[in-house]
Homo-oligomer: A and B are copies of this chain.
Amino acid sequence: MKDYIIHHEWKIIEEGFHPDLNRISESIFSIGNGKMGQRANFEEKYSGDSLRGSYIAGIYYPDKTRVGWWKNGYPEYFAKIINSANWIGINIIVNGEELDLAKANVISFRRELDMKQGILQRSFVAELKNGNRIEVFAERFVSIHDSEIGAIKYSVKALNFSGNLTIVSYIDGDVFNEDSNYDEKFWNERSKHIQGTEGCLEMETLKTGFRVCTGMTFTFYKNGELISFEPENFQKEKYIESKVQIPVENGDTVVIEKLTSTVTSLNHPDDELSVKAHEAIKRALLRGYNGMLEKHRNLWSNKWDSSDIIIEGDKAAQQGIRYCIFQLEQTYSGEDERLNIGPKGFTGEKYGGVTYWDTEAYCLPFYLSSAPVEVSKNLLLYRHKHLMKAINNAEKLGFKNGAALYPMVTINGEECHNEWEITFEEIHRNGAIAYAIYNYVNYTGDKEYLAPFGFEVLLAVSRYWSQRTNWSDAKNKYVILGVTGPNEYENNVNNNFHTNYLAVWTLKFTLEVIDFLKKEFPYLFEELVSKWKFSEIKETTRWKDIIANMYFPYDSNKGIFLQQDGFLDKEIIPASELSESEQPINQNWSWDRILRSAFIKQADTLQSMFWFENEFSEKELKKHFDFYEPITVHESSLSPCIHSVIAAKIGYHQKSYELYLRTSRLDLDDYNNDTEDGLHITSMGGTWMAVVMGFGGLRVKNNALEFNPFLPAKWKSYSFKINFRGRHLEIKIEAEKLTLSNHSNLPVDLKIWGKDLLLETNSTKTIQK
């Protein structure tokens, strides 16, 4: 837990120079545009502690996995989105001495992330060993208007000297990853070129053969005047630079505007990359730094218009929730169905930037409500695109007939994770992917997505569940053996309630979708039957039998479903009785002790109750919450949010707020001492859920929006914005009243605290409590 970030509604601010916190700040002040991301490394040379990171969506390396003892079916590699060419490099030499904040006397230092505009700024005054004092102002952004462009404005003012200022702008492809299994480097040089004020460096990843060409150009200003110059260019293996020497008088200010382009073989033919990098640079130059910045700002303004949450009366909470929204918007922009969301986005190396079920379970609701419908649809298409690989994955594990098991961790559809208890057994992810289809269709009303995309995935997942289920003579029921639920503090359990429930739910939903297709798309359905060799009667007969006869562990004394078979053989002790020194238990207890304890890492039985709350009475929800939440240690950042939403639903408002607090500023306050590894991007989707679905009580039922809002006691008011089927709504909750605005030309039916309400086009209604 740290507390050095200054609270501010729209900005993230670090005041003063903190070399010991630098890796944390490098994560927190990260910027990105959904296609690339950049940690807040310094432009100029820095010999202090730093994790350099420049990541490009979809550009990965298959890092050979390490395991103890190989298991049949393990993947050969763990895909990692890797550190790419350093495009921000600008070295400053003052009268022969190179600026390095680790060696200079740093007189003042400030870092600011302007979330409203999507800009990172840094200013400092430093005195070099030679006594020369400079004031630096650095500003940069990665354009969301033209996602191949990065732009930097770097200004140096001579405060107490005259002489020479040398500025070296470079691109360095000789980068490495800290978190690689065999300490390899992942890039080869393909070509490079530098002439006059423009250069580019083309690199290629080993094994995967992705090519990335990084171009740069720059302009100089002295005291506001454009100046011309003749750069001294230099190149070496994997590196290009342009050096410019500028004479300065005391008080002079020199500004370099560096524009860069990053083009990749994902989007362009291999042999056109240097041309494309050049074209991108030209596009940027045409607008110039300021023109690019204006376009960028405008688009950020649009994003905030449809996604902002305003909290009055709690500046820390305001900053926290905007930070979550800002980072989610930076990480996934949704135009490209080949891309997805890594648990750390583009802000660090951990988890390799690859995709988990976090996307479907924790991020999708944010994008559904805050972004155009295509964004969520592309998240779903990402999985549809990987269907054949998921089928192959299931085949590797012994399944047949088009059954699919989606990978636990993936970048291109292939499984990357290699712990059997997770890779092979944490199969509820397959259900999460099915549920996301329901969630998407339910929210957007886009039922056509089911034909064929949704159906194809659902069929394959249902086939998997059908085969993964076996009949137990002992129980006279169907069972699902040997699984790991969302609560990864249990491994290889039998009849995990959540997994069994999801399996049955998927089968039911698939049957509904089949009925829908038969009615609405009969010809297409016939084609799909033939394409997928779907023996409808035979297969659905078994599905129906499973639906009717699935076993769910239940304790009739307590009246609760059990997380798994045998759960009540454990000693049930509330997490509050754990001593401080034991927590988090995953750092202080041995794994076997964790496994045989009842302590729960994150929502498991309650994950089903969250998704399928309509299928349980409020009394049942309460009973399960009362049993499970107290033994939950919330050692996943994805845990508190789900509990917060349920707590809100069952009227435990204070509890809901407390749970929300556990992740609302997770990274800004470095709550878990791991922000230096990168930000908890997917958890931010959970924090959004806690506010909008928890406090706001947003649900979509029968094609209508519902809200059951309450106001956390500490807040004066909060409001949030929602996109819903072409409507742009704003809901403001205050102590005495609720204000609803419809900023669209479509009326909308709402249910507020159970009461129907029609909100006319472009209108506002106020409801007194």
Q: Say yes or no for A93: interface residue by CB 8 A criterion.
A: no
A67 contact from B68, B473, B492, B595, Cβ within 8 A = B68
**Stretch from A314-322, A566-574, A751-759 that touches the partner:** A566-574
* Chain B residues with CB below 8 A from A565, complex form: 565-566, 569
Q: Say yes or no for A593: interface residue by CB 8 A criterion.
A: yes
* Chain B residues with CB below 8 A from A398, complex form: 589-590, 593
Q: Give complex CA distance A233, B472 in Å.
A: 75
Task: Encode contact with B along A490-502: 1 for CB under 8 Å, 0 otherwise.
Answer: 0111110000000
A71 contact from B66, B470, B555, B591, Cβ within 8 A = B591
**Stretch from A368-376, A428-436, A475-483, A695-703 that touches the partner:** A475-483
* Chain B residues with CB below 8 A from A614, complex form: none
8 Å CB contacts to B: which residues of A320-344? none
* Chain B residues with CB below 8 A from A66, complex form: 66-68
Q: Give complex CA distance A470, B572 in Å.
A: 11
A65, A569, A571, A595 pick with most chain B CB within 10 angstroms: A569
CB distance from A505 to the nearest CB of B (A): 21
A418 contact from B68, B418, B495, Cβ within 8 A = B68
CB distance from A74 to the nearest CB of B (A): 8
Q: Give complex CA distance A493, B569 in Å.
A: 12
Task: Encode contact with B along A99-114: 1 for CB under 8 Å, 0 otherwise.
Answer: 0000000000000000
Q: Say yes or no for A419: interface residue by CB 8 A criterion.
A: yes
Contact yes or no, B72 A481, CB < 8 A: no
Contact yes or no, B73 A590, CB < 8 A: yes
Sorting the interface of chain A by its residue count into under 10, 10 to 19, 20 to 34 or 35 or more gives: 35 or more
Task: Encode contact with B along A41-73: 1 for CB under 8 Å, 0 otherwise.
Answer: 000000000000000000000000111110111
Contact yes or no, A396 B590, CB < 8 A: yes
A397 contact from B396, B472, B590, Cβ within 8 A = B590
A73, A420, A481, A591 pick with most chain B CB within 10 angstroms: A591
The residue of chain B having its C-beta at the shortest distance from the C-beta of A473 within the complex is: B568
CB distance from A123 to the nearest CB of B (A): 41
The residue of chain B having its C-beta at the shortest distance from the C-beta of A477 within the complex is: B569
Q: Say yes or no for A537: interface residue by CB 8 A criterion.
A: no
Q: Say yes or no for A588: interface residue by CB 8 A criterion.
A: yes
What is A's interface to B at a CB cutoff of 8 Å? 65-69, 71-73, 396-398, 418-421, 424-425, 470-475, 479, 481-482, 491-495, 555, 565-566, 568-571, 586-593, 595-596
Beyond known contacts A65-B68, A472-B569: 17 more, CB 8 A cutoff? A66-B66, A67-B68, A72-B588, A73-B590, A73-B592, A396-B590, A397-B593, A420-B591, A471-B571, A472-B568, A482-B595, A482-B596, A491-B491, A492-B595, A494-B569, A565-B569, A566-B566
